Amino acid sequence: MKSFNISRRRFLKGSLAAGAAGLLPNLIFSGSADAAASPTNVVIVVHLDGGWDGLNTVVPFTDPAYAAARPTLAIPGGDVLPITGALGFHPALTGLKTLYDQGKVAVVNGVGYPNFNRSHFAAEDIYWTADPASAPSTGWLGRGLDVMNTGNVMSGVYIGSATPLSMLGDTVSVPAIPDAASYTFQSGGNAADDAAVLSAAVQIIDQPATGMAMIDGILVQDRALRDSIGQVQSAAAYQTSVTYANDSFSRSMKFAAQLIRANIGVRIISTDFGSFDTHSGQPARLTTLLGNLSAGIASFQQDALVGGFANRVTVMFWSEFGRRVAENASAGTDHGASAPIIVVGEGVRGGVVGNYPSLTDLTGGDLKMGVDFRSVYASVLSDWLAVNDSQVLGASWAKLPIFL
């Protein structure tokens, strides 16, 4: 037989483009659907897409430079939800404020990296790969799953339509699942055609071993993928007693809760919410977005308590950059640099981490970085997921007091 010089990862991804394998959802995965371990810690990483205005989210309401820089956008001190004597949350973040008061929210101030990039795409890639200097083909969460080596196809899940770079690894492939209903065999034909093609696919997947390692490996993984479909459907059948709103973020968090509660071995979940790209008309738009964010996380935390998994899940919010300190002429803010990262959960050491950046000592009109984002990542990997962070990030970064 002729040998082909093709990587295993490339072959596995490409195999779904042909024949009955194209029925399977999005990707093919390493591991087994039967490999779910005993309950372990889970992180949900939420990308606030578009560049989040951290300055009007975690508000330095006592600083006169804040009102001076934003004569129309500054939130009045009387409307802010105080978390310290000098800082407060946007008034739409009532649910998050309650969790903060309970000691379940850590606000990491001034997060960024040297020589900040203000392009959405480039900045996203930097945060996704944890590498401002080069362009790796894998992401920090995908590499984390590689190191975990759980052997479980469901160890990582992206809630959305296309798996982002952050979730790409060398040895694992992460499913992109917009919702449970879409995670099924799909052929695109009519009902009769679907049934016939599905029957053929099942026969292919369940065929005996061929003796060819590559083909048999694909068959094993396709069977695991088929089994994972049943796991997801079963998880989503659970109806919580907690009421979630019907916006996209709340629906994603409800689905995340169902996956975690089912104990099918999920360790990392990622999703996106936004856009927070508020160049104009920022007040109303940011209020709606932050209100949805706050309500979704509050419902999720309540659901986690009801479901008995609150002590093993944490949620992290990040964005590719913050916004400029000064408002623009369109009642909005333009692309900036550093921004907060917020971490929520029962295992979080609540409070404020790091000094708030100066509003007068700026770099090109932007808040200076005080904390490198890779220190946040290292803390999540090491202190929450029990993963060798330097192996994932390629270097050792100072840990932050985020977790208990």
Q: 72-109: string of b/e by CB count within 10 Å (b at 16+)?
A: ebbbeeeebbebeeebbbbbbbbbbbebbeeebbbbbb
Angle (nearest 5°) at CA 157 between 153 and 162:
115
In terms of C-beta distances under 8 Å and separation of at least 24 residues, what long-range contacts does 75-83 make, across chains too?
Answer: 83/58, 83/107, 83/352
Q: Quick: pLDDT tens for 133-142.
A: 998 999 999 9
Asked if 107 contacts 83 with a C-beta cutoff of 8 angstroms, the reply is yes
**pLDDT score for 224:** 61
- 257 within some domain: yes
What pLDDT does 212 receive?
79
For the domain that residue 318 is a member of, what is the CATH number? 3.40.720
pLDDT in tens, the chain (404 residues): 333 233 333 333 333 322 233 334 433 334 444 444 457 999 999 999 999 999 999 999 999 999 999 999 999 999 999 999 999 999 999 999 999 999 999 999 999 999 999 999 999 999 999 999 998 999 999 999 999 999 888 999 999 999 999 999 998 888 899 998 888 766 666 777 767 777 777 777 777 888 877 776 666 666 666 677 888 888 888 889 999 999 999 999 999 999 999 999 999 999 999 999 999 999 999 999 999 999 999 999 999 999 999 999 999 999 999 999 999 999 999 999 999 999 999 999 999 999 999 999 999 999 999 999 999 999 999 999 999 999 999 999 999 999 99
Residue 1 lies in a domain: no
Can you tell me the distance from the alpha carbon of 314 to that of 41, in angstroms, rounded to the nearest whole number? 8
pLDDT in the model for residue 123: 97
What pLDDT score was predicted for residue 216?
63
Q: Taking the C-alpha atoms of 374, 376, 378 and 384 in order, what is their torsion angle to the nearest 10 degrees?
A: -160
- Tell me how many degrees the CA angle 32-34-35 measures, rounded to the nearest 5: 75
| In a domain? residue 399 | no
- The SS3 of residue 23 is helix
In a domain, 403, yes or no: no
- Contact residues for 211 (Cβ-Cβ < 8 A; gap 6+): none
Total domains in the fold of the chain: 1
How confident is the model at residue 182, as a pLDDT? 81
Q: Tell me, what amino acid is at 46?
A: V
Q: Give the pLDDT confidence score for residue 210 in this predicted structure.
A: 80
What is the per-residue pLDDT for 217?
A: 63
The verdict on residue 3 lying in a domain is no
- Looking at residue 38, what is its pLDDT? 58
pLDDT of residue 218: 65
The pLDDT of residue 28? 37
94 domain residue, yes or no: yes
Domain that holds residue 79: 8-393
User: Is residue 400 in a domain?
Assistant: no
**Left, alpha or beta for 224 (phi > 0: left; psi -120 to 50: alpha)?**
alpha
Residue 30's pLDDT is 42
- Classify residue 361: in a domain, yes or no: yes
